[in-house]
Amino acid sequence: MRHAMTVLAAIGATLLAGAAGATTPAATCRQDCAPRVEEQCRDLPGSAFRRCRRTLVRACRKTSPAAACTTTREMTDALANRFVSFDGLGASAVGGLLKLCGDGRFATVDVESADPGSAGSWRVVIGNGGLALDLRAEQISADARFAIGRDDQDAIVVDGRPADTRDARG
């Protein structure tokens, strides 16, 4: 009986330790984050480059390569020809529903009134150490920039909130 309890305690401790320290291996993060490191850190000198790379690899190890290492090109491809909506301040700032076209144009629509909102150009840029959705409106001076990325489940998040994305083609 005592032996069985000891074995069960050892198995439980091993499982808890594994769950608490569950991370993506460093080698995987260094390999999968190489394009993002090149994109975000390449122009930095010496120690600043290493610090930038270390920050991205650490973020990857804590989450996943998809969440920490998505490049601007990958995010642009993921958002092109999609309707995007997200809760909170961001949605009201752009009118509720955002249509991102593959040609780099966007349009907003107020969901409640179905009135067309602003239009302009969009792109994914690196800002404040992460990716940002940059909107440049044509008729009004209401340019906007929203932090954008992926969560651990590879879903798109805008300003830290889950975004609803749907196909906008056709």
- Reading the chain (170 residues) residue by residue, the pLDDT tens digits are 444 444 444 444 444 434 445 588 999 999 999 999 999 999 999 999 999 999 999 999 998 898 889 999 999 999 999 988 876 434 445 556 788 999 999 887 765 655 566 788 999 999 877 899 998 887 655 668 888 998 878 889 888 888 888 888 76
Contact assessment for residue 150 and residue 156, using Cβ atoms and an 8 Å cutoff: yes
Structural domains counted in the chain: 2
Q: Where are the beta strands (DSSP E) in 5-104?
A: 82-86, 96-100
Whole-number pLDDT of residue 25: 93
| Residues 55, 102 share a domain | no
Contact assessment for residue 54 and residue 68, using Cβ atoms and an 8 Å cutoff: no
Nearest to 90 by CA among 131, 22, 23, 144: 144
Cα angle for residues 81, 114, 118 (degrees, 5° grid): 60
| Residues 86, 29 share a domain | no
How many Cβ atoms sit within 10 Å of the Cβ of residue 7?
10
Query: What is the domain range of residue 22?
Result: 2-68
Does the reported pTM lie above 0.95?
Answer: no
Q: For residue 37, what are the contacts with CB-CB under 8 A and spacing of at least 6?
A: 52, 53, 56, 57
Domain boundary among 17, 35, 68: 68
For β-strands 144-150 and 130-137, DSSP reports them as antiparallel
Residue 45 φ/ψ region, left for φ over 0, alpha for ψ in the -120 to 50 degree band, beta for the rest? beta
Record the tokens describing residue 111, joined without a space: 């969901």
| Residues 160, 79 share a domain | yes
Domain boundary among 14, 36, 68: 68
| Residues 94, 47 share a domain | no
